[in-house]
Structure 1
Amino acid sequence: MTVNIPSDVQRGATAALQQAYPGGYAGNVVLKDFILAGGGCINPGGKLSTSVGTFFLKWNDAHTLPGMFAAEAKGLRLLRDTRTLYIPDVMAAGESGSYQFLLLEYLEPAHRPKDYWERAGQELAQLHATTGPSFGLDLANYIGSLPQANTLHDSWIEFFIRQRLQPQLTRARQASLADTTLVKQFETLYTRLPDLLPEEKPSLLHGDLWSGNIMAAQQGIPCLIDPAVYFGHREVDLAMTTLFGGFEPAFLEAYHEAWLLLPGYPDRFNLYNLYPLLVHVNLFGKSYLSQVNSVLRQFLS
């Protein structure tokens, strides 16, 4: 193999593929080659060539990030079941030794056709049309490498405060990344959110929709990867597409045409982006606090 896969992961992946392809190669699945993908800052992963096909394999320490891939597999399946934006098929999510691993359909990167961003916007609107009875999800998952609680709520604003902003702010305070002044500013913001955020039915969300988690695959169709799925307000996904760049204006225009957004949505995007910004504070440090403070000034001044 080009890159060494831990032996426990090799055994787990082989067993999972053997179960999925019982014919195998004379009854045995053979792992042939592995090429590490670039850009994975949390989990090693890459292209796995085997005797029964080519797959995407990633793994990590099961004790450090417990349940990460089982939750991701469920999220991918929920998204795939909508039959809207393309989602890689989940082959297996399991544990082997001290490791956990995820085996997915391998998607060959492709060039983006002219209508790529329009199609992505239209299909995200179709995905968001999948709704649930409550905000949240029946299991916790991860946002990056941080735990993401999804305790169900009937109120979107209560969910956003208690399951999104407060946990990240508490983590930042405990790590001395946020001071008491910032905490008090957020507490004031919480009292104003009922007048700032509209309620809608809970939409199925990707949950981590930045430019690194959308790709062109299979003749250039838009494809979503690495989700942090839950049922929430659809503007959360759209807000994050504006945070780190990479989405063309045609994307939001096509979404807005497919499903009209309520007036004032650009300001609400800033509010919703407080969550990923706090996540970045906790993952990467105080440099992201300036953006957090900028949003707070917009709504507290």
Structure 2
Amino acid sequence: MENLLLHLSDKFRFQINQVTAIAGGDINRAFRLRTSGANLLLKVNTTEYPKLFETENVSLQRLRQTDTVKVPKVIGFGNREKLQFLLMDWIPTQKASVGKWREFGRSLARMHKLPQPNFGLENANYLGTHLQDNSPKQTWSAFYSENRILPMALLLRDQKKFVDQDVILAENFCRKLDEIYPKENPSLVHGDLWSSNFVMSGEAFLIDPAVCRAHREMDLAMTKLFGGFAADFYLGYEQEFPLEKGFENRMEASQLYPLLFHALAFGGHYVGKCLEILRAFA
């Protein structure tokens, strides 16, 4: 770690005055750097997951280029010895007003409204430590089944967390996707939009994305998976781009994919929740 800090100081021409470890989630180590120029966020991981931060940078730039949502400025990323790093602006937290929560919802809706060519993405990226195949598809049902649900189900079977009958349940679920979801054009989505993946600093900054072009309900369902956002966020979204009727009834279909990842990573009650959703829709 000391060698990495020396490398950063030399490469980006600043003096590091203080390094403070902060909560970085289950995947990465994270540090606040007080430098001679600014406060910065440093994320660090091993090289076990190739291009982890390179693909995160690509995701952040894709979000920035929409000119709808805010993301931190990336200073740089790369490898040093057996470590990889991502260095970006530090975003201080501030309490958000009702108006800022509504603007957060409206900005996400504006991003979702932008025209997209298909479902998927030109590059693979990561959800946590899971490498996502984003090979483009022309329909949401094809992308969600072939690139998301079925690969996860097979990985869970390989780990003996699913049995053959559970994979059949997943296949049956995938056959019904056209009935479950309203037909909509693809949207650019954050891809992992839960309450720890944005920072309120007067206005919302999105962090830790796993972007792709998907059904927009994936983002909205994810916001509700681990506690939900402020009510004014959803009011702002609905004002800008109302959801089709019945979202709450089909929301768990969109929550299935992140729950499958949690089942893969942590097992336990997540496996049972996934099977409960599959049985409910299949």
TM-score range, shorter chain: over 0.9
Aligned residue number for residue 36 of structure 1: 21
Aligned residue number for residue 92 of structure 2: 108
In the alignment, the residues of structure 2 paired with residue 267 and residue 161 of structure 1 have an alpha-carbon distance, to the nearest angstrom, of 20
Contact 1:131 1:231 in 2 (8 A): no
Q: How does 1:1-301 map to 2 (within 5 A)?
A: 6-18=1-13, 29-62=14-47, 64-217=48-201, 220-300=202-282
TM-score, structure 1 as length reference: 0.89
CA separation of 1:128 and 1:12: change in aligned 2, threshold 3 A: farther
Contact 2:91 2:199 in 1 (8 A): no
Shift of residue 257, structure 1, vs aligned partner: 1.9
Deviations 1:205-253 (A, max 9, x none): 1000011112211xx1111111111111111000111111131222222
4+ long deviations beyond 3 Å: none
Deviations 1:145-190 (A, max 9, x none): 2111111111111000111111211111111111112111111112
Bigger drift between 48-57 and 246-255 goes to 246-255
Unaligned stretches of 5+ residues in structure 1 = 1-5, 19-28
What's the % identity of the aligned pairs? 34
RMSD (Å), alpha carbons: 1.5
In the alignment, the residues of structure 1 paired with residue 197 and residue 33 of structure 2 have an alpha-carbon distance, to the nearest angstrom, of 20
Query: Size of the alignment, in residue pairs?
Result: 282
CA separation of 1:15 and 1:133: change in aligned 2, threshold 3 A: farther
Shift of residue 10, structure 1, vs aligned partner: 1.6
Contact 1:177 1:286 in 2 (8 A): no
Shift of residue 198, structure 1, vs aligned partner: 2.7
Which one-letter code corresponds to 2:8 in the other structure? A
In the alignment, the residues of structure 2 paired with residue 170 and residue 146 of structure 1 have an alpha-carbon distance, to the nearest angstrom, of 13
Look up the SS of the partner of 1:273 in the other structure: helix
Contact 1:71 1:141 in 2 (8 A): yes
Shift of residue 39, structure 1, vs aligned partner: 4.5
Shift of residue 86, structure 1, vs aligned partner: 1.7
Contact 1:12 1:95 in 2 (8 A): no
TM-score, structure 2 as length reference: 0.95
In the alignment, the residues of structure 2 paired with residue 206 and residue 13 of structure 1 have an alpha-carbon distance, to the nearest angstrom, of 28
Aligned residue number for residue 3 of structure 1: none
